[in-house]
């Protein structure tokens, strides 16, 4: 027996050194790859206390994972159970080398309590894994990636947990010498297993053989899993925590600003693997391929080839396949991300509406849009490659400062007869109403601007507009990849805004609101920006607007992506409707953070939609299915897209903006 223990000690020491050495080597290579890229990463190491709190909420609390009930619950069971067995497994590893080591001799009471909890939680891992198999083999949701990798992970985990219970069962029945630590009453689940298999009936030799057998199975599987992790989808076990730690702490988000004036820059945007930044690479490592992003993506949902999950997966494969070149002096041989034979095609790249459903639902805080928009930027600025219809839109923006190409001199024509002053005539106005291109030129959106002006008048708000001095906010150009043109639009507005320095900017278009609020400060225009829905809600609460509520019938509210997921503004429009309408407000299935995009964002308003089902038609059918008489929006683009979608569905449900509803009921 002593000879065997010596042999076991040598064997386990060699196995541990070999496995952990190989694991460390693989992790170092992954780290070197992450540090070898050249892109400038965002600063994400501030507010350490807040980031530690995020780890407790998102990682230990599994908050993001549990937003999907049953899969989230199953993952939580697996997560905590697998975490719970690791200290005991570590003790078993040490005992393989040093048989006399025993934590129970040092801390008997805490150790007993720990083993009791760990044995219980380990059983729940099997429950979670059973549901995982049920999803993969029976339910088979389309967004869930099937394959050997996922099945191996389930197999590894199952073997580790089952062998863990068998080891505990043999510990439970083994003879105890006087004064040794007793496992009686310690293992609530493994004791049941030992009793059911009548392990006490085994001879001492049989007990020794089978306990050692399951010991080697348990430790061997853990070490094999350890080696397997860095090259598998479960790389997220290593990357998820730092990725969540470095996540954006605010919902609000600005696009990456490119220094267009940098004369030393050889390229703009994201064209090849070396142009990733280290946070991009960490994002790729952290992806679990859970498919939640794909499930909620409006493009994927309507039959487009875009899958946010697949984009991240393909980039990771591309990165790892070209890693040797990246780590060498042969970087010039690295292939472009968009190339012949690549999974990333024009149809994939330009299908994105930048709605941020993918980022919002991602349990490990991956920022998919940074990849998509930066690649668009590279394609437009470096390759002059973009949808053909965008050429006219870019020309219109450059020549007339609006995407439709209407004369800039007519930007204030919508307010004729409404006595709306211009900032040139009233430079000290307290509120600058930034109307936006849609509100100035689109026939349907003009009515929204007019309703907004009337409501402001009723509330006695001191406001004015820029009129011909106003240019497109730059949102559409930047999200369509034309960073140069977008920055040109922004700089034009910044000069004007800085000249007037308004106390507050009021925007009725969520795209204007988001860009002015979150992106203009980087360009030198940091003014308070409020959306009309939020402002109207404030006016109502302060009593500056009086409402004659009436029964306007059953209504539903469609959440604009750029108000909701981009800026967390969900309640104000609903507060207004609850005051204005005595009838019920019906929530659609896809609402608030899971609201379904209208299809206009990311420049898609001005692109043809030829693949799959039209996104606005899908959203219109969701409106119809809710059984309402009116759908309310807080975005001129959403109004247009939903109205067109409902007409295609041959329904007669009116689409109203929140300003129009309020204009109807205010005194």
Q: What is the pLDDT of residue 169?
A: 94
Domain topology for 555-665: Rossmann fold (3.40.50)
**207, 169 in Cβ contact below 8 A?**
no
CA distances for 459 relative to 540, 541, 548, 575, angstroms: 9, 12, 14, 17
Band (178; pLDDT cuts 50, 70, 90): low
Number of H helices, E strands in the chain: 28, 8
List of E strands, 357-503: 431-434, 463-465
Rama region for 514: left / alpha / beta (φ>0; ψ in -120 to 50; rest): alpha
Q: What is the pLDDT of residue 546?
A: 92
**635, 562 in Cβ contact below 8 A?**
yes
Least confident of 87-91, 170-174, 421-425, 575-579: 170-174
**411, 434 in Cβ contact below 8 A?**
no
Q: What is the pLDDT of residue 239?
A: 95
Determine the Cα–Cα distance for residues 51 and 248; give it in Å rounded to an integer.
10
Question: What tens digit of pLDDT does each residue of 488-504 get?
Answer: 999 999 999 999 999 99
Instruction: Inform me whether the pLDDT recorded for 150 exceeds 90.
Output: no
3-state secondary structure of 463: strand
Q: What is the pLDDT of residue 152?
A: 86
CATH of 273-383, one of 1.10.1060.10, 2.40.30.10, 3.30.2130.10, 3.40.50.2300: 1.10.1060.10
Neighbouring C-beta atoms of residue 321, cutoff 10 Å = 12
Question: What tens digit of pLDDT does each residue of 186-235 get?
Answer: 899 999 999 999 999 999 899 999 999 999 999 999 999 999 999 888 89
Question: What tens digit of pLDDT does each residue of 584-603 get?
Answer: 999 999 999 999 999 999 99
* Encoded tokens for 42: 């965002």
3-state secondary structure of 656: strand
First to last CA, the chain: 94
Neighbouring C-beta atoms of residue 43, cutoff 10 Å = 8
Q: What is the CATH architecture assignment of 390-541?
A: 3-Layer(aba) Sandwich (3.40)
Which residues make up the CATH 3.40.50.1860 domain(s) of the chain?
A: 390-541
Question: What tens digit of pLDDT does each residue of 285-324 get?
Answer: 999 999 999 999 999 999 999 999 999 999 999 999 999 9
Site of tokens 């990463």: 41
Determine the Cα–Cα distance for residues 191 and 380; give it in Å rounded to an integer.
66
Question: What tens digit of pLDDT does each residue of 610-652 get?
Answer: 999 999 999 999 999 999 999 999 999 999 999 999 988 778 8
Question: What tens digit of pLDDT does each residue of 355-392 get?
Answer: 999 999 999 999 999 999 999 999 999 999 999 999 99
Phi/psi of residue 310, nearest 5 degrees: -70, -35
Which residues make up the CATH 1.10.1060.10 domain(s) of the chain?
A: 273-383
Instruction: Inform me whether the pLDDT recorded for 177 exceeds 70.
Output: no
Band (1; pLDDT cuts 50, 70, 90): low
């Amino acid at each position: 027996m002593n000879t065997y223990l010596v042999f076991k000690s040598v064997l386990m020491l060699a196995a541990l050194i070999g496995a952990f050495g190989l694991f460390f080597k693989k992790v170092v290579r992954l780290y070197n790859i992450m540090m070898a890229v050249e892109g400038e990463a965002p600063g994400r190491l501030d507010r350490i206390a807040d980031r530690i709190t995020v780890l407790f909420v998102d990682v230990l609390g599994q908050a993001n994972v549990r937003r999907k009930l049953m899969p989230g619950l199953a993952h939580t069971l697996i997560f905590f159970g697998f975490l719970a067995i690791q200290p005991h497994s570590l003790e078993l590893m040490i005992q393989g080398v040093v048989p006399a080591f025993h934590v129970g001799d040092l801390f008997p009471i805490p150790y007993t309590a720990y083993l009791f909890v760990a044995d219980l939680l380990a059983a729940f891992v099997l429950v979670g894994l059973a549901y995982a198999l049920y999803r993969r083999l029976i339910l088979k949701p389309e967004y869930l990636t099937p394959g050997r990798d996922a099945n191996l992970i389930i197999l590894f985990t199952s073997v580790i947990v089952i062998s863990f219970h068998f080891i505990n069962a043999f510990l439970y029945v083994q003879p105890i010498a006087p004064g040794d630590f007793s496992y009686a009453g310690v293992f609530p689940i493994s004791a049941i297993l030992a009793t059911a298999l009548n392990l006490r009936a085994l001879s001492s030799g049989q007990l020794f053989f089978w306990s050692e057998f399951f010991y080697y199975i348990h430790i061997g599987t853990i070490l094999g899993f350890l080696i397997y992790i860095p090259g598998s989808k479960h790389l997220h076990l290593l990357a998820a925590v730092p990725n969540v730690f470095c996540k954006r702490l605010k919902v609000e988000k600005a696009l990456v600003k490119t220094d267009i004036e940098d004369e030393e820059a050889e390229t703009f945007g994201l064209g090849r693997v070396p142009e990733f930044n280290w946070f991009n690479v960490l994002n790729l490592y952290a992806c679990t391929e859970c498919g939640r992003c794909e499930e909620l993506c409006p493009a994927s949902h309507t039959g487009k080839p875009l899958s946010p999950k697949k984009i991240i997966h393909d980039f990771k494969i591309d990165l790892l396949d070209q890693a040797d070149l990246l780590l060498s002096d042969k970087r010039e041989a690295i292939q472009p991300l968009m190339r012949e034979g690549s999974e990333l095609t024009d149809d994939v790249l330009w299908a994105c509406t930048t709605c941020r459903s993918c980022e919002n639902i991602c349990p490990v805080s991956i920022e998919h849009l940074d990849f998509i928009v930066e690649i668009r930027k590279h394609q437009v600025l470096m390759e002059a490659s973009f949808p053909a219809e965008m050429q006219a839109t870019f020309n219109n923006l450059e020549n007339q400062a609006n995407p439709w190409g209407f004369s800039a001199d007519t930007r204030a024509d919508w307010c004729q007869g409404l006595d709306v002053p211009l900032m040139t005539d009233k430079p000290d106005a307290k509120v600058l109403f930034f109307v936006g291109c849609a509100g100035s030129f689109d026939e349907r959106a003009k009515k929204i601007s007019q309703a907004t002006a009337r409501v402001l008048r009723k509330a006695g708000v001191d406001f004015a507009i820029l009129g011909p001095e106003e240019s497109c906010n730059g949102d559409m150009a930047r999200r369509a990849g034309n960073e140069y043109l977008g920055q040109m639009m922004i700089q034009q507005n910044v000069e004007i805004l800085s000249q007037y320095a308004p106390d507050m900017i009021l925007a009725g278009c969520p795209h204007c609101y988001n860009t002015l609020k979150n992106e203009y400060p980087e360009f030198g225009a940091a003014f308070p920006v409020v959306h009309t829905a939020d402002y109207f809600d404030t006016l109502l609460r302060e009593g500056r607007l009086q409402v004659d509520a009436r029964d306007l019938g059953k209504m539903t509210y469609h959440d604009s992506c750029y108000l909701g997921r981009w800026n967390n503004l969900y309640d104000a429009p609903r507060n207004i409707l609850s005051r204005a309408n005595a009838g019920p407000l019906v929530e659609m299935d896809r609402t608030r953070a899971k609201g379904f995009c209208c299809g206009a964002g990311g420049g898609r308003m001005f692109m043809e939609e030829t693949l799959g089902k039209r996104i606005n038609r899908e959203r219109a059918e969701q409106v119809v299915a809710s059984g309402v008489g009116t759908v309310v929006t807080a975005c001129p683009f959403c109004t247009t897209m939903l109205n067109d979608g409902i007409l295609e569905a041959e329904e007669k449900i009116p689409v109203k903006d929140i300003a129009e509803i309020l204009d109807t009921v205010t005194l």
